[in-house]
Structure formats: structure tokens, C-alpha cells
Structure 1
Amino acid sequence: MDFFERQRQVKRMSFRLILLYVLAVLAIVIVVDLAVAFALGAFEAPAAELAWLMFWTSVLTGGSILLASLFRTIGLRAGGGKVARDLGGVLVPEDTTDLRLRRLRNVVEEVALASGVPVPEVYVLEDEQGINAFAAGWSPADAAIAVTRGALDRLNRDELQGVIAHEFSHVLNGDMRINIRLIGLLFGILFLAIVGRTFLYAGAFGGGRDRRDNQGSNPLPLIGIALIVAGSVGVFAGRLIQASVSRQREYLADASAVQFTRQTSGLAGALKKIGGLETGSRLTSPKIDEVGHMLFGEARLRSLFATHPPLADRIRALEPGFDPAELTALAARWRDAPPSGLAEDAAMGLAGPEHGGALPHHETRLPVNPGAVAASVGTPQQPAYRRAESILEQFPPEVLARARRGDTAPVLLFGLLLSEQPEVRDSQLAVLRERHGDAAAADALAAVGWLEGLHPLLRLPLAQLCFPALRSHPLARRQDLLGTIDALARADGRISVFEYALTRLLHRDLYEATYDSQPWPTRSQSLASCRNAIASLLAVLARAGHPDEASADRAYQVGLARILPGQQIPMTAPQHGVLALDGAWPLLDGLAPKDKSLLIQAVVAVIAEDGTMTVPEQELTRTICGMLHCPLPPLTT
């Protein structure tokens, strides 16, 4: 199943979720209607009065549920970090020196680079000793990954990598948005139980002597009991909904993690430690029922409507010869001496990532396999992970450290944009002095020295490593930085492919992290309605990778035939070069998943017409996929 098919499945899952929610609300409304009518003796009243009572009871009950769901959903608009903090999560500092936390951040960065998605915020649930994790957020741009202290302490690097890859599959598959919506919907369903307890308390314990004198006519306790019963119906419905949307997705996420890391031992080892350790995957937070469906492992010991498949079945899917009795043996071995992840790393020689090899010479045109590039969208394979390791290995440690910090990441971005032409650089430095002072200009010049010799293929990955650090700044500061970066890119009166890629991907990342929506209105589009936008995109791409008019036109026609066969649209030189793409994104992002798949194939066909890929073509392809929300792993040689 490819990325685009999974996107179609997510849309169908969203429809099923809404349907189940509506049915649950209807069941609760009926229970409350009947209980209130019984408590008030309305069944003996005229039919018109009974109908009127049940109408308003239905409106109040349904309205309360919907408002509670809406309230909780709005409260989650702050992104995945909000969910992690609600559960007691502590943000892992970018420059942490703690070995376990550094290992965690390294693994998350590697998997993010290999997946082609922004590096998420990373949290640790310090008070949780069970082995568990989750990914939360509305989109990859505002995602957060949280792991428990138990996972940090007990899992070795391979096992931690398997768990993180599992969670990233939820990011790539679009499960996160469903999960976070489900939190809001479940809160509304469970809300009546809270109101019922309040009514019961007010009726049973409030009012003193007046309560005793009027005990027989006080309907509050009965209404409270009815609401608690309705809340129990909500709990039942909520568990059913959680189970219905979670179990098969966990199998898919396990399979995706194995496909990603190309080894089953890490993920299977993590699951075995859950089964063999006393703490398992259990969590102690009182809010855990809200998020049970989005966790790596079952948070409670229960079998009815479990949100995850049985542990033994998950392990057996990874290791067909697995014997569940092995968990009993592991439990006996670890009862007095629980495993240490760092000690296992040292014993296995997993002190750091393997080298993936040096990048080619700056001017080399890389061979390209069209089928492999198109198939890799949203479906990272093991080579992509090794390439991510290689990318991180080739950055000097001091550059990586600066990219991860909120105060120094902007300086690196300024340095990446400073021109080699003295007159242009002088103009850029004047912009920095005007906007941020002399110190910022001096730091940007120093950054040029840090980045000396950096391979062009590493510029965009380094910029994307800087993006998460910029999210930590207040909104006004972020807007100021975006303005400065845009001014530096335009200082020479034109925009290169790299400058365009950096500015547009940064703006999209920060916008979506702040507002939980695309920077443009989302409307469904067809290939026919996007005809001119598609032609413009293919023309820009053809001119970026082909030096002469004839070869560019030939590549353009190959791409056009792939997505709009039989249509004759002459290639015209975009008046504003790569900036012509700005008008295309709102249209192209509205294409259906199957049409986006065709578009990516057409993009790759343009690039592959001469059998090689230049650095600008790689940067432009990554930008196209990023703006269309089709995450592209690093392109391997």
C-alpha cells in the first residue's frame, strides 16, 4: 500500500469516525430523554408536553456534548506538544548533554530526515516507568513525539529506533489528525458523566433540611443517575470507537517501522520488553483514557475493546516462530535485574550511527530512478534511513549544535543565504544591521566560515534541521525572522532555486505549526482545473535542470504526457522564474491523492528525461513534494 492509498484510507476512516460519533451521541440522547421523562413523571402527561420535553432535552443534551467536544478540540489547537504536556511531558532541550536524551533526539532527527517531514518536538514523560510512546499533532509541522522514562531507560538504540519509526508511520499515514480529533470527540461523549456526578451530589448532599423535606419531589438525584448512566453509554461507545480505529492501524504501523528500518529485532525487542517487564506499557496518568488509542502499547490492563492487538500477536507478526512462553522466561530474568538500554548499546557497539559514505562532487549529476523516487513518497525505506545517518554524520558537530538551538539557528540560515558576490553580500549585511544590529551581521559572516566546504546537497537538510528551533520563538519574532530571510533571498533582485526552497518550506512549516492549516484555502481540485498550474510547474522544473531550450522542452513534454496525455500545452518561459510556482500551490495542494501521485510521477519524468538529477532539481523536487504535503525521503544514489 503506497502513501497515496493510505491517504484515501484516512479519509474513509475520518468518515467512519464521524458516523460512530453521531451514533454514540444519538444513543446517549435517547438514554437521557427517557431518564428525564421518567424522573419528571412526564410519561403520564399529554403527548404534546412529552414531545416538547423530549425535544428540549435532546437539544440540551446533544448541544452539551457537541460544545464539550468543540471546547476540548479548540484546546488542542496548540499542537501535539499540548497533548504531551497535558500528560506531564517535559520538552527535551535541543542542546541536551544527557546521554539518553541525546540518543533520543538523534534517533528522532534521523527518522525525520529519512521520512522527509519536519523534525517534531520531543518530550519525555518523566513519571512513567512503563515502555510507551505516542505521536500527536494536527500535521507534521506541529507534531510532537513523546516517550516514557521507561522507554528511555530500558530500550537499546535499535529498539528505540523501532518505536520511533512506528510513531513516525502514524505521522506519515495521517493517523495523528484522526487521533487528536478523537480526543476531542471522546471528551464530549464522556462529559455527561461529569455533569451527572455534579447533579447527583447537588441533589443528595445539598439543601440541608429543605432537601429532606422535599426529598420525594427532588428530581436532581434521578437526573444525575440518568446522566451517569448516559455517561457509561458514552464510555462504552468511546472504547468501541477507540478500538475500531486503532487495532489495524497498529499492525500497519509495525509493518511500516520494519519496512523503514529493515530489521525486525528492534521493534520486536521493544514489544518483548513490554511483555517481560512488570511495568509493561502501563501508564499512571489519570488522563490516559483520553489518549489510549494513540499510544505505542496498551496503557491499561484490559481485554474488552482493547485499543491494541494482543502483544503476542504483534510479536508473532514480526517473528513468525515466536513462542509466548518466552515472555515468561524474560520476566523471570528481568525481575531482579531490569535491562539497561545504554548498557546494551555499549555491548552491541551501537555508540553512534554508521557512516553512509561521502556525497559526490559538487558538480556531479546524480543518476535517478523514476520509479524508485515516486514510490518512496511517504514510504521511507532502509536506504533512506542510512542516507539520513550519512547526512547527519557529515555536519560538523558545532554546526549541528547551532542548528538545534533557538538563538543560533537563525544565524545559520542567514549564513546559508549570504552571497559569494561581494556587492550582493554587502547589501545583505546592510539588511541584517538594519533589522537586527551589527552583532547579527557579524555572526552571519562567522557562520559563512562554519559552513565553508558544505556540499550543496546538505544545504536544504541543514536548513530543515534549523526550522524546529525557530518554532520556539514568539510569533512576532518568527514573523520578523521570516521577513529578514525573505529580504536576504531577494537582495540581488532574483530568487535562486535554493533560496526559493528555503523560504517557502520555512514559511509553510512555521505557518502550519502556528495556525494548524495550510497557508492557503483548501479546495478540492481536478486535473482539468489545474491544467495551467501543472504546465507552469513542469516548465519551471524543466528549465531548472536542462541548459538549453530544446532539452528543456523535450523534458517538459515527457512530464506533460504522463499527467495530461493527449493535451497540447506549449511550454512557455515563466515570466518570474521559480516565483511562478507561488500561484500554483493553492490549486495543486487541492488535488485528490491519486492525482497528486500522477503529478509526482510527472515531476520525476521531467527530471529523469536525461537520466540524471542536478542539485537544483533535487531541491525543487523536495520543495514540490513538501508544498503538496507528500513527504519525500532523501534521494539516494
Structure 2
Amino acid sequence: MNFFERQIEVRKSSRRLVVLFVLAVISIIVVINLVIGGMSIANGATPAEVASLAVVVSIGTAGIIGGVSLVRTLMLRNGGGPAVARSVGAVPVPENTTDPRLRRYRNVVEEIAIASSTPVPELFIMPNERGINAFAAGYSPNDAAIAVTAGALERLNRDELQGVIAHEFAHVVNGDMRLNIRLIGVLFGITALAIIGRLAFYAGGSGRSSKNNNAVPIVLVGLVVMAAGYIGVFFGRLIKAAVSRQREHLADASAVQFTRQTEGLAGALKKIGGLDEGSRLRSAKAEDVSHMLFGEGLSFSSMFATHPPLVERIKLLEPGFDEKKLDSLRSQWRSAPPNGLEEDQRLGLAAPQDGNPAQAQPRRSPAQQPRQATGTAAPVPPQHVRVDARQLVERVGDPTASSYDQGQALRRALPEPLVEQAHDPVEVIALVCGLLLSADQRVRAAQHQILAQRLGPGPADAAWHSGAATAGLDPRLRLPLVEIAFPALRRRSPDELERLMAVLSELIGADGKVSVFEYSLGTLVFTGLHESMHHKPSWSGKRQDLRSAASAIAMLLAVLARVGNPDPGKAEAAYASGMATILPGSAIAFALPPEGVIALEQAWPVLDGLRGEDKARLVEALVTVVLHDEQLTVEEGELVRAVCAVLHCPVPPLGAMS
């Protein structure tokens, strides 16, 4: 099952969720009406009165459930993934942390994000949770958050942590997060009746103790509503179990394919089974996110379990595993619990950039940064890439071990002073602006003036110094550095982000032309920040098919063909190969838009409206064009990265395909 097929399955699950929700609401309404109707008849009510009461009760109950669900869903939508993380007591990872566990956690997430071509999620830790667990939350990769427990960071070695984070990234790219966050909102409305009934019951009980004649009916109504609410709890748990279990199997399989080894993920599961804390959460809100967790956060019967049995998950990874092994591990770890960092040192898993508090270097402001980054300033030669375009479509949203290897290599090649700046919510603005400063001193001076007018002299000078620090950076590292900067950017206020996007547009247009890198960086930042703030694309395109989108497709392929082929004849040949892949027999001739790459702005509302299977063919056509000459230039890779971000199709770095 590839990325596009999984997207279809998520949509089916969403429809199934709606059906189950409606059935649960109907069941609750029927129960409440039966009880209240019976009480009314016992008190001498006529059938007409009972019928009228049933209508009122049904409308009122449906209104309460629907209203509470809607309000809760809107609250979650406005807060995105970070709001869900904070709701269970998680706190953000400090940007300047020297804690080796937190640095290792952040580095692992950044490596996987670069490898899967997704923005780095905001990182949270649940400091009071000793069990081993994690979850990803958000409406899209652009507003995602990942939270792990303190127990996971304490007990897991780097390979095991990679397995857990890769599992969570599978939920990020597969669209499971949106489904999971909808589950929280929808089920809150069902279970809210139990809370309302409990309040009515206690209010009536208090009134009865004061000899209030109305207390008895209030108590009875409270009992009925509370009973109906617990029916809602029953259905809620059943719905979560029905929706979640298969998604967990798929995420496990994706994690194994991504990290190329089963030991990490299996090791994490064994530690859950072998430690007394297991994967349990103490938070009072644990049930809200139980279907989102890496492991069971609460003790449920198998009927309500949101995850496959632990031993079953381990055996799928290690077919010969004997579950009695967990007993011996449990006995061993009671006296000497595992320590993840010590295992890293013993097994040779520690990475240099994970850091050590004793060796931590003091932070430096942008003005103190070196004028040249430590990356190479030499031009990057074309990469020879041999890959079947259809094979790459199978890797959309499903990166392989070679993708992870490249993501890890790119992350480790980034100069740490620039990475530290990318983590800082204050300095990150200067870094992103600095990446767009021109090598032409005249244009650069004009850009500095723009920054001084829009942001002030201090930020303008900081961006100038950041531009000097990134001038010698290997071009292949520029967009990964921007991906790492996303969590810090999201911590700025919406007004600041709107101002930043306007400033970036002016910087890009300062010399009257737009390079492929400028357009790619701008598109990634604008798309990512808009979706993180508004939780929807910046356009409202209608559904399209390949025929209705033919002109937009032709424009995109023509621009892409020209980027990789300065020779017009070779560019036309590359274009023709892409068109033959997606629109065989098309009569649309090769033609470059006069505006160049900026013309693609007209195509995005159309192309993002394509169905999943049509997007798959478009990605195949893109790769066919790019690899027509079996060479991948930096500009081609950057533009493909930006295009696929707009299409919401995370393609692993093409360099990992060679």
C-alpha cells in the first residue's frame, strides 16, 4: 500500500468515523428517551406528551453532543498539534538545551524530517511520565508536534528512539494525525454527557439535602444523563479501537522500512514489556490521546485496546521471539533499569552533534558568527541518479533506509552555529532572511535597506551577518536548514509571521528576477507558515482531473525541464518525456512562460486539486523530466522539493535514489 492508497484509506476511515459517531449518538438518544419516557408514563403523562418530550430530549441531546464536539474540534484546530501536546502536560524542548537526551531527540527528529522532506515538527517532552511513549499530533505536517515521555528519553538508546520517531513520522505523512485529532473532538461530545450528568446528579443531591422538592427529579435526570454518557464512553473507546489498530501496524512497518533495521523498534517494544512502567501515562487527559500513542497509555480490555497486543507487534518484527523473554527482561531490569545514553556509548550509537553538557559551547549572537560557514563553497556537481520514476512514486510518503542515510548525512554536515541559530525563535528570522541576500553587493545593500525599513536596523544587521555566515554553505544544505528552522518560526506571533512573509517577498524581488532557489525557499516558507497558522492551503482550488489540469501540468513540466537543461532542445526532449508519462498523445507544445518560475503561482490551485492517483502520475512525470538526462542538479532537487510540498506529496530527497 503506497502513500496515495493510504490517503484513500484515511478518507475511508474518516467516513467510517462519521457513521460510527452517528450510530453512537442515536443509541444515546434512544436510551435517554426510553428512560425518560418510561418515567413520564409512570407519572401519568399521555402518549402525546411523551412524544413531544421525546422530540425535545432528542433535539437537546443531539444539540449538546454536536455543539460540544464542534467547539472542541475548533479549539484543537486553532491550536494544532502543540495544543494537543500541551493538553497532556507536555512542554516544549528548550531551543538552547544542552541536555544530551533532548539534543539526541531533536537531532533524530531533524534527521528523519530531512529524509522524508517534511518540515521539522515542534518538539515536546512529557516530563512527568516515566513510561515509554510518544505521539504525533496536528492537522498537517506544517503544524505537527511530536511529544515523547521522559521515560522514553531515559530508557531508549538512539536506535530505539529512531524506531519510535520513525513510527510517529509515519502517522505524520500518512494523514493519520488529522483523523486522530478529529477523533478527539468528535468523541469529546459523546463523553461530555457523562460529565454533565455527574454535575446534575451532585447538584440534585445537594438540593435534596436542603429539602428541595425539585431535587429528586434533578437527581434522576442526572443519573439518566450520566448513564447515557457512560454509554458514550463505551462507544468512544470502541470507535478509537476500531479506527486505530490497523494504522499502528502500518506505522510499525513504515518505521522498519525507513530505518532499515527491526532491532530499534523491537527493542523499544521489549522495554515497554519488560519495565514496570510500561507505556502507561499518568496524565488525567491520557484517554483523550490514547489512540494516538506509540504504546497503550491506559489499561483497557482487548475489546477497547487501541493498539495490537505488544507481543504480536514484537513477533511481526522478530518472528522467533519467545514472549517468556519478557519475564527475564523484567527480572533483570528491576534491579538495573536500562539507560539509553549509556547503551549509546557502549554500542557506538552516539552521534557527535548529540552533544555533552560538559563539552557544550556558549551560544553566539549572529554578529559573533563566523563570516563563512564550515560547509564547502565549491559548486556542487550534478548527481548521477538512476531510478525508475514509478519506483519513486512508491516512495512518496514512504522513505527508505537510503533516504534516512542521506537525511542523517545532511543533518550532520550542517554547521552547528547555523543549526543553533535555526533553533532560536529570535535569531531564526535573521537566518532565513540572510539566506536570501544576494552576492551582488548593490542588490545586497538594497535588501539591507528593505530589512532596516521593515524590521529595524538591528534585525537588518543580524541578517547581513547571517548572510555572510551562510555564503559558503553547500547549496544542498540550504533547504534542510530551512526545514530545521520551522519550529522556531512557528513560535513567532501570527502578525510577525505575516510581516516576515511580506519581507521575504521584497527580498526575493529586490533585483527584479527570481532564482529557482529563491522561489523554492519562498514557496516552502509561505506554504508551511500559512498552513501552520490557518490549517488549510493558501488557495481554495476545486477538484480537478488530468484533462482539466492539462495546461497547468504542461507549464510545470516546461519550467522544470528548462531548469535542468539550459539547451532548449534537451529541455524540450525532457518535457516531451514527462508529458508522454502523464498525458500521452497531448498536443500541448513546449512553451516557457515569460515570467519564468514565478508563473507556477497560477498552477498551484489547479494542481493541488488533483485526486491522489492523478498526483501520483504527476510526481512520476516530474521525476521523468528531472532524470531524463540521468543527472540531478541542485536547482532541480530544490524545485521538486517545493513542488511536492505544495502538492502535499512528501518525496524523499532524490539524491537518495542513486
2:134 corresponds in structure 1 to: 133
Q: Deviations over 1:325-369 (max 9, x none)?
A: 0000000001122111111111111220799xx999625221232
Q: 1:362 aligns with which of 361, 369, 379?
A: 379
Structure 1 residue 456 and structure 2 residue 456: aligned? no
| Partner AA of 2:404 in structure 1 | Y
Deviation of 1:43 (Å): 8.7
| Partner AA of 1:75 in structure 2 | M
Whether the 8 Å CA contact 1:68–1:188 is kept in 2: the answer is yes
Structure 1 residue 18 and structure 2 residue 35: aligned? no
Q: Secondary structure at the match of 1:206?
A: helix
Deviation of 1:46 (Å): 3.6
1:482 corresponds in structure 2 to: 501
Q: 2:526 aligns with which of 478, 499, 507?
A: 507
Q: Distance in 1 between matches of 2:463 and 2:82?
A: 31
2:286 corresponds in structure 1 to: 288
Which runs of structure 2 are paired with 1:322-341 in the superposition (5 Å)? 322-341=321-340
1:573 corresponds in structure 2 to: 592
Q: Distance in 2 between matches of 1:354 and 1:611?
A: 34
Whether the 8 Å CA contact 2:376–2:473 is kept in 1: the answer is no
1:345 corresponds in structure 2 to: 344
Q: Distance in 2 between matches of 1:514 and 1:209?
A: 51
Q: Secondary structure at the match of 1:364?
A: coil
Larger displacement relative to structure 2 (240-249 or 414-423): 414-423
Q: Secondary structure at the match of 2:148?
A: strand
Identity of aligned residues (%): 51
Q: Distance in 2 between matches of 1:442 and 1:131?
A: 45
Q: Secondary structure at the match of 2:337?
A: coil
1:233 corresponds in structure 2 to: 231
Larger displacement relative to structure 2 (143-152 or 559-568): 559-568
Structure 1 residue 557 and structure 2 residue 557: aligned? no
Q: Secondary structure at the match of 1:194?
A: helix
Deviation of 1:553 (Å): 1.5
Whether the 8 Å CA contact 1:261–1:381 is kept in 2: the answer is yes
Deviation of 1:205 (Å): 2.2
Q: Distance in 2 between matches of 1:209 and 1:250?
A: 53
Larger displacement relative to structure 2 (523-532 or 20-29): 523-532
Q: Deviations over 1:422-474 (max 9, x none)?
A: 22112112212222333333323322332232111111211222222111111
| Partner AA of 1:395 in structure 2 | L
Whether the 8 Å CA contact 2:314–2:321 is kept in 1: the answer is yes
Whether the 8 Å CA contact 1:37–1:43 is kept in 2: the answer is no
Q: Distance in 2 between matches of 1:400 and 1:529?
A: 43
Deviation of 1:399 (Å): 1.2
Larger displacement relative to structure 2 (266-275 or 450-459): 450-459
1:197 corresponds in structure 2 to: 198
Deviation of 1:321 (Å): 0.4
Deviation of 1:301 (Å): 2.1
1:264 corresponds in structure 2 to: 262
Q: Deviations over 1:489-513 (max 9, x none)?
A: 1001011111001111101111111
Q: Distance in 2 between matches of 1:577 and 1:530?
A: 19
1:544 corresponds in structure 2 to: 563
| Partner AA of 1:364 in structure 2 | P
- Structure 1 53/138 Cα, relative in aligned 2: closer, same or farther at 3 Å? same
Which runs of structure 2 are paired with 1:591-610 in the superposition (5 Å)? 591-610=610-629
Q: Secondary structure at the match of 1:617?
A: helix
Q: Distance in 2 between matches of 1:416 and 1:25?
A: 54
Whether the 8 Å CA contact 2:574–2:625 is kept in 1: the answer is yes
Q: Deviations over 1:579-616 (max 9, x none)?
A: 11111111111111100000001111111222212111
Q: Secondary structure at the match of 1:573?
A: coil
Which runs of structure 2 are paired with 1:171-250 in the superposition (5 Å)? 171-206=172-207, 208-211=209-212, 218-250=216-248
Q: Distance in 2 between matches of 1:308 and 1:539?
A: 47
Aligned residues between the structures:
632
Q: Distance in 2 between matches of 1:330 and 1:313?
A: 17
Q: Distance in 1 between matches of 2:353 and 2:60?
A: 61
Deviation of 1:523 (Å): 2.5
- Structure 1 214/524 Cα, relative in aligned 2: closer, same or farther at 3 Å? closer
Q: Secondary structure at the match of 1:122?
A: strand
2:642 corresponds in structure 1 to: 623
Q: Deviations over 1:62-105 (max 9, x none)?
A: 11000010111111121111111111101001221111111111
Structure 1 residue 493 and structure 2 residue 512: aligned? yes
- Structure 1 325/359 Cα, relative in aligned 2: closer, same or farther at 3 Å? farther
Whether the 8 Å CA contact 1:370–1:608 is kept in 2: the answer is no
Q: 1:516 aligns with which of 535, 538, 541?
A: 535
Identify unmatched segments of 5+ residues in structure 2.
355-374
Larger displacement relative to structure 2 (359-368 or 16-25): 359-368
Deviation of 1:56 (Å): 1.3
Q: Distance in 2 between matches of 1:363 and 1:68?
A: 56
| Partner AA of 2:498 in structure 1 | Q
TM-score normalised by length of structure 1:
0.96
Q: Distance in 1 between matches of 2:241 and 2:528?
A: 32
1:273 corresponds in structure 2 to: 271
Larger displacement relative to structure 2 (31-40 or 445-454): 445-454
Deviation of 1:385 (Å): 0.9
1:319 corresponds in structure 2 to: 318
- Structure 1 323/434 Cα, relative in aligned 2: closer, same or farther at 3 Å? same
Deviation of 1:520 (Å): 1.0
Which runs of structure 2 are paired with 1:522-541 in the superposition (5 Å)? 522-541=541-560
Q: Deviations over 1:118-156 (max 9, x none)?
A: 100111111111110000111111110000111011111
Deviation of 1:214 (Å): 6.1
Which runs of structure 2 are paired with 1:374-393 in the superposition (5 Å)? 374-393=393-412
TM-score normalised by length of structure 2:
0.93
Deviation of 1:222 (Å): 1.9
| CA-atom RMSD in angstroms | 1.8
Whether the 8 Å CA contact 1:39–1:223 is kept in 2: the answer is no
1:96 corresponds in structure 2 to: 97
- Structure 1 370/418 Cα, relative in aligned 2: closer, same or farther at 3 Å? farther
Q: Distance in 2 between matches of 1:284 and 1:567?
A: 60
Q: Distance in 1 between matches of 2:2 and 2:210?
A: 69
Q: Secondary structure at the match of 1:606?
A: helix
1:166 corresponds in structure 2 to: 167
- Structure 1 354/564 Cα, relative in aligned 2: closer, same or farther at 3 Å? farther
